[in-house]
Amino acid sequence: MPNDAAFTLAAAALKDQYQQRINTIEGAISGLKRLEYPESTLSESSSCHYQMYMQLGAVGPHVRSTLLKDLEKEWAAPQGISTIKAPHLNSTLFLYSPNCRLTLGVKKAEGVKREKFYAKAVNYAGMAGTLAFFQVFLLVRQMEYTPTPSSVSKVSYWTIAIQVFIDSYLCMLHLTTGVLVG
């Protein structure tokens, strides 16, 4: 904010808005009010215009450009050749809104290159697939030992509950990862 007075006004406006939302939600919980979501608030676009400046950090003087190019080639089309260890990816970021008078700066943001992330995702998918195959194999083996309905009733409900919990957790993890990667 440009000065303390502007900050105080903005904080008061936000506090009033949040208090109105809290009162509405508390009223809905107690049954006195009904939550309504007007479509105009969902489709309104922000009037703030943002400008973002980002600079990638330097690799370092100890890394030669030819070795870095070899690493990039290996990530793009893996051949199994030995390359240098990937240097850390960091950047400096500055976000500025001239009409809303908002600035945001990040001095050292670290990240992972897309190719490295995809390689990790492939390894994880292989492990998850192996785990799913192993689980199905164990289920088939268990079913072989329980041919009659009376022996099926001896299977612990906790076993089934734990398998359902793990499967649902892995499903949500894979869906989230798929959305982020895609």
CB within 8 Å of 81: residues ≥ 6 apart:
70, 74
Q: pLDDT confidence of 41, banded at 50, 70, 90?
A: very low
Q: pLDDT confidence of 40, banded at 50, 70, 90?
A: very low
One domain for residues 5 and 59: no
One domain for residues 55 and 40: no
Q: Give the pLDDT of residue 55.
A: 84
94 CB-contact burial (10 Å; exposed 0-12 / middle 13-18 / buried 19+): middle
Domain boundary among 57, 92, 111: 111
| pLDDT above 60: residue 106 | yes
Number of domains present in the structure of the chain: 3
Range of the domain at 134: 117-181
pTM (2 d.p.):
0.45
Residue type (1 letter), 62: H
136 CB-contact burial (10 Å; exposed 0-12 / middle 13-18 / buried 19+): exposed
One domain for residues 88 and 133: no
One domain for residues 52 and 93: yes
One domain for residues 167 and 133: yes
Residue type (1 letter), 113: K
| pLDDT above 60: residue 26 | yes
Domain boundary among 95, 111, 127: 111
One domain for residues 40 and 52: no
Residue range 55-87, pLDDT digits in tens = 888 887 888 888 888 888 887 888 888 888 877
Q: Which of 52, 50, 54 is nearest to 92 (CA)?
A: 54
The span from the CA of 162 to the CA of 166, in Å, is 6
One domain for residues 40 and 76: no
Domain boundary among 57, 91, 111: 111
Residue range 117-174, pLDDT digits in tens = 877 888 887 888 888 888 888 877 877 777 777 777 777 788 878 888 988 888 888 8
One domain for residues 2 and 24: yes
